[in-house]
Chain A
Amino acid sequence: MTKARARILYIDDEDNNLKAFKASFRRDFEIYTVSDANEAYRILDEIEIHVALADQRMPKVSGVEFFEKIQEKHPDIVRILITAYTNSQTIIDAVNKGKINQYVVKPWDPQNLKNIIDSSFNAHQVKKELKMKNAELLKTNDELNRFVYSASHDLRAPLMSILGLVELSRLEKESGDPFIYLDMIEKSVQKLDVFIQNIIEYYQNARAESNYEQIDFKVLVNDVVDTLKNTDPSVKFLLDIEQDCDYFNDEFRVHVIMNNLVSNAIKYQKSDAGNPEVSIQVKVDHQKAIIRIKDNGVGILQEHLENIFKMFFRTKTLNRTPGTGIGLYIIKEALSKINGEIQVNSVFGEGTTFELVLPNLEA
């Protein structure tokens, strides 16, 4: 990836200074020059400026006042004051009120000023990156807290069920047949295993680098359906896949997304339905793939729709197949890594349709 160009705003009431600045640096930076403070505020609101330079001596607003004013709304911009006068009060105000980062004396030397802007831009990028890392850390921390809480329940609950069954067969050893509990122990073990698999999938998705490969949706969808159809052999699959051009994306993540959605469509069928169906429709063009996964299962209550993508959120379902609360969260995370979008439509008791739009990253 090429390094982002620094976006510079320069405010000065003298048009010649602006022109000279632009002439010197237009090859190095993306430059916005203004002579009026109001115009500067407007630009700052619309464009993400990295470094702002202001002349101290301007008729309406001084450079220090200008910086003071933008301080609250745009705290991350690196501020450089340009002045011909080195009056100590101005310097004190510039530092204390204008919170300036650099002080440049007129007339400026192009090479020197370029160095100052370069290092200011670097400082800005470092600060920005730090902020992003911080937000990421907060999110990870929050996930970890939820995980520990949920793990304390979801990892232990099946184990405690098994221990309870063992205790029960011991109590019954004279009268009963302990083997009748094997089915229940098996169910508990499977539940635990699903939870562990989901967690592993989630962390793989969170950590894995994106790897763009050619995807043949016929192969991918058939693969997903083949692995999942045994979980409920009564479900009928309707596949409609139209792909006339090459499609590129992160195959691992597309697979994870499809796998979770199709698995949900199978799992949340009505227990008494006579004709459980899952239809998968894929349309691929040069820009995107549109994927529709539709089931005639239990559906999702309107009030839950906004929560379903949250980690460890689960709803009570009609057939009481409890989920782990991770599947849709994994989907959302995977989508954010490949810039995909998802929409859900559901009628409680009638079925659910998920629609995905995944960009085609055809080079």
Chain B
Amino acid sequence: MSTNPYIILVDDNEIDLFLHEKLIRLSGISDNIDRFTTAREALDFIRKKGPLPDIILLDIQMPELDGFDFLREYEHIEHIDRENTTIFMVSSSLDFGDISKAKANPLVKSFIKKPLNVKELKDEISTSAN
């Protein structure tokens, strides 16, 4: 993984988007960040085959398409290289079903609970780079 990974944030909560972007910048993880308030917009962006993100922070509970719907569609986008993108699911949910579903999904590197802890995020990203 590059030293300044390209990260996209998908979350319907504007405050959390702001917060996560700030935390990622401040902690020095990256300053190359894009934000999407719906899964639909993020998917459209990825389909356009611009630069693919190194990391996706994906919220679980969102109206319309939730995080799992995002993954189902993402999996079937043609002609993109999913190898170099790491997905983390992020949620304040304590729902056992949500958490185990996130962890069981092969596309998901790990489940990170809100509020985002900078150290935890850094550790997760560095282990994913190995």
Residues of A at under 8 Å CB distance from B?
149, 152-153, 156-157, 159-161, 163-165, 167-168, 171-172, 184, 187-188, 314-316, 320, 322
Q: Which of B22, B91, B92 contacts A168 (CB 8 A)?
A: B22
Nearest residue in B to A154 (C-beta to C-beta)? B61
Bound Cα distance A315, B64 (Å): 6
Report yes or no: A167 in contact with B114, Cβ–Cβ below 8 A.
Answer: no
Bound Cα distance A320, B63 (Å): 10
Bound Cα distance A208, B22 (Å): 47
Q: Mark B92-124, 1 if CB is under 8 A from A, else 0.
A: 111100000000000000000111111000000
Nearest residue in A to B40 (C-beta to C-beta)? A316
Report yes or no: B93 in contact with A316, Cβ–Cβ below 8 A.
Answer: no
Report yes or no: B63 in contact with A161, Cβ–Cβ below 8 A.
Answer: no
Q: Does B37 contact A (CB under 8 A)?
A: yes
Bound Cα distance A315, B116 (Å): 26
Query: Which residues of chain A come closer than 8 Å to B114, judged between CB atoms?
Result: 157, 160-161, 164
Q: Does B43 contact A (CB under 8 A)?
A: no
Given contacts A160-B114, A316-B38, whether A152 and B93 have CB atoms under 8 Å apart is yes
The smallest beta-carbon distance between B12 and chain A, in angstroms, is 7
Nearest residue in B to A163 (C-beta to C-beta)? B115
Report yes or no: B15 in contact with A188, Cβ–Cβ below 8 A.
Answer: yes
Report yes or no: A187 in contact with B95, Cβ–Cβ below 8 A.
Answer: no
Query: Which residues of chain A come closer than 8 Å to B118, judged between CB atoms?
Result: 167, 171
Report yes or no: A157 in contact with B13, Cβ–Cβ below 8 A.
Answer: yes
8 nearest CB pairs, A to B? A164-B115, A160-B114, A160-B92, A163-B115, A156-B92, A164-B19, A316-B64, A157-B92
Report yes or no: B93 in contact with A168, Cβ–Cβ below 8 A.
Answer: no
Bound Cα distance A322, B114 (Å): 19
Q: Which residues of B from 1 to 19 have beta carbons under 8 Å from A? A: 12-16, 18-19
Given contacts A161-B15, A184-B18, A187-B15, whether A153 and B61 have CB atoms under 8 Å apart is yes
Q: Which of A152, A157, A171, A314 contacts B26 (CB 8 A)?
A: A171
Q: Which residues of B from 42 to 89 have beta carbons under 8 Å from A? A: 61, 63-64
Query: Which residues of chain B come closer than 8 Å to A161, judged between CB atoms?
Result: 13, 15-16, 19, 114-115
The smallest beta-carbon distance between A165 and chain B, in angstroms, is 6
Nearest residue in A to B38 (C-beta to C-beta)? A316
Query: Which residues of chain B come closer than 8 Å to A188, judged between CB atoms?
Result: 15
Interface of A is mostly: helix
Report yes or no: B15 in contact with A322, Cβ–Cβ below 8 A.
Answer: no
Query: Which residues of chain B come closer than 8 Å to A152, judged between CB atoms?
Result: 93-95
Given contacts A153-B95, A164-B114, whether A172 and B18 have CB atoms under 8 Å apart is no
Bound Cα distance A111, B127 (Å): 86
Query: Which residues of chain A come closer than 8 Å to B64, judged between CB atoms?
Result: 315-316
Q: Mark B19-36, 1 if CB is under 8 A from A, else 0.
A: 110110011000000000
Query: Which residues of chain B come closer than 8 Å to A149, judged between CB atoms?
Result: 95
Apart from A152-B94, A153-B61, A157-B114, what are 14 other A-B pairs with CB-CB below 8 Å? A149-B95, A153-B91, A153-B93, A153-B95, A156-B94, A161-B13, A161-B16, A164-B115, A167-B115, A167-B118, A171-B23, A171-B27, A171-B118, A187-B15
Bound Cα distance A58, B22 (Å): 87
Most interface-central of B14, B64, B92, B116 (chain A CB within 10 A)? B92
The smallest beta-carbon distance between B92 and chain A, in angstroms, is 4
Query: Which residues of chain B come closer than 8 Å to A167, judged between CB atoms?
Result: 23, 115, 117-118
Nearest residue in A to B117 (C-beta to C-beta)? A167
Bound Cα distance A320, B95 (Å): 25
Nearest residue in A to B91 (C-beta to C-beta)? A153
Q: Which of A153, A315, A320, A322 contacts B92 (CB 8 A)?
A: A153
Bound Cα distance A271, B13 (Å): 17
Bound Cα distance A161, B27 (Å): 18
Nearest residue in A to B116 (C-beta to C-beta)? A164
Query: Which residues of chain B come closer than 8 Å to A187, judged between CB atoms?
Result: 15
The smallest beta-carbon distance between A180 and chain B, in angstroms, is 11
Query: Which residues of chain B come closer than 8 Å to A159, judged between CB atoms?
Result: 92
Most interface-central of A161, A171, A184, A320 (chain B CB within 10 A)? A161
The smallest beta-carbon distance between B126 and chain A, in angstroms, is 19
Bound Cα distance A160, B116 (Å): 9
Query: Which residues of chain B come closer than 8 Å to A160, judged between CB atoms?
Result: 16, 92, 113-115
The smallest beta-carbon distance between B73 and chain A, in angstroms, is 16
